[in-house]
Amino acid sequence: MPNHPTKSISRNIPTDAHPNLEDEIRRLAFEIYVEHGREDGHDLDDWFLAEAEVLGAAVNVAA
């Protein structure tokens, strides 16, 4: 079995541009949940949508 180094993917997210990143994602994910009628079973969808919006805003601010 060949020994290959493990590749790690770095996302290079500018956390200094958005120091409360997780809190902001959590807040927005909850807003999305409420906007969609508090329907259970879509927590990951809501989180990923919020994450994309927050990270997109953070990347645009850093650029």
Each residue of 6-38: pLDDT tens digit? 443 334 555 555 678 899 999 999 999 999 999
In a domain, 8, yes or no: no
In a domain, 44, yes or no: yes
In a domain, 11, yes or no: no
Instruction: Say yes or no to pLDDT of 62 above 60.
Output: no
Collapse the DSSP code of 11 into the 3-class scheme (helix H, G, I; strand E, B; otherwise coil) and give the result.
Answer: coil
Residue 30 is predicted with a pLDDT of: 96
Q: What share of the chain is helix, strand, coil (3-state, %, to 5)?
A: 60, 0, 40
Candidates 44, 52, 43, 45; CA nearest to 24 is 52
Residue 39 is predicted with a pLDDT of: 93
- DSSP strand E in the chain: where? none
In a domain, 56, yes or no: yes
Candidates 45, 44, 47, 51; CA nearest to 21 is 51
Domain range for residue 57?
Answer: 18-62
In a domain, 6, yes or no: no
Residue 29 is predicted with a pLDDT of: 95
Question: What's the domain count of the chain?
Answer: 1
| Higher local confidence (pLDDT), 10 or 4 | 4
